[in-house]
């Protein structure tokens, strides 16, 4: 379902969707699209969006997850693509994935069924109130989502 998508036009179109652009804290969709071309990013796309994963260390142990889907991909597509992306990441060097929840955007909360845990309280930032969430390789392996996925694949 997911694929590496380095074409900035794909990501710019997702970021520029009328239901998405207002959630970007004023960032230009073209600037987001250009992230897909940078070596520090792994852009994993589904049909209606995907994930921009940013490597946070030289060994690829720690990654920062950014999720970007149009309304057509909200729900089932995003969940299925997320599980596939996490299997891919944790099947490589990744040991830790972090992401931020935006208080003003309820859709930004990561899935607890995937093993994500909050790593702190809400913090006011230049883009609004954010809360950091983390997922370890071990927490993913023990999560309901990973176990359900493993059953489906066998």
Stretch among 30-34, 88-92, 97-101, 148-152 having the lowest mean pLDDT: 148-152
Chain centroid offset of residue 62 CA: 13
CATH code (residue 98)? 3.40.630.30
Calculate the CA dihedral of residues 3, 8, 29, 56 and round it to 10 degrees.
Answer: 60
Res. 152 pLDDT band, cuts 50 70 90: low
Query: Residues 144, 95, 80, 67: is their CA dihedral positive or negative?
Result: positive
Structural domains counted in the chain: 1
Count CB neighbours of 83 within 10 A: 22
- Predicted confidence (pLDDT) at residue 100 exceeds the cutoff of 70: yes
Domain containing residue 37: 3-153
Q: What is the pLDDT of residue 127?
A: 85
Q: What is the pLDDT of residue 26?
A: 82
> Regarding beta strands 62-69 and 96-102, do their DSSP bridges make them parallel or antiparallel, or are they unpaired?
parallel
By C-alpha distance, which of 19, 52, 15, 48 is closest to 31? 15
pLDDT (tens digit per residue) in 46-99: 999 999 999 999 999 999 999 999 999 999 999 999 999 999 999 999 999 999
How large a percentage of the chain has pLDDT more than 70?
97
Over residues 123-149, mean pLDDT:
93
Alpha carbon distance 154, 26 (integer Å):
44
The per-residue pLDDT of the chain, averaged, comes to 94
What predicted TM-score, i.e. pTM, was given to this entire model? Answer: 0.92
- Predicted confidence (pLDDT) at residue 151 exceeds the cutoff of 90: no
- Predicted confidence (pLDDT) at residue 110 exceeds the cutoff of 70: yes
Alpha carbon distance 124, 130 (integer Å):
6
Alpha carbon distance 136, 78 (integer Å):
20
By C-alpha distance, which of 87, 81, 55 is closest to 67? 81
């Amino acid at each position: 379902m997911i694929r590496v998508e380095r074409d900035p036009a794909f990501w710019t179109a997702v970021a520029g969707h009328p239901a998405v652009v207002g959630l970007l804290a004023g960032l230009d969709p073209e600037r987001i699209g250009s992230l897909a071309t940078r070596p520090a990013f792994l852009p994993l796309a589904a049909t209606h969006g995907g994930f921009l994963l940013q490597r946070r260390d030289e060994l690829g142990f720690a990654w920062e997850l950014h999720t970007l889907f149009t309304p057509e991909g909200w729900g089932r597509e995003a969940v299925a693509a997320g599980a596939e992306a996490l299997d891919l990441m944790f099947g490589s060097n990744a040991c830790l994935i972090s992401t931020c929840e935006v208080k003003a955007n309820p859709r930004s909360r990561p899935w607890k069924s995937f093993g994500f845990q909050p790593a702190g309280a809400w913090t006011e930032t230049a883009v609004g109130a954010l809360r950091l969430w983390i997922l370890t390789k071990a927490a993913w392996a023990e999560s309901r989502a990973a176990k359900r996925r493993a059953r489906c694949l066998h």
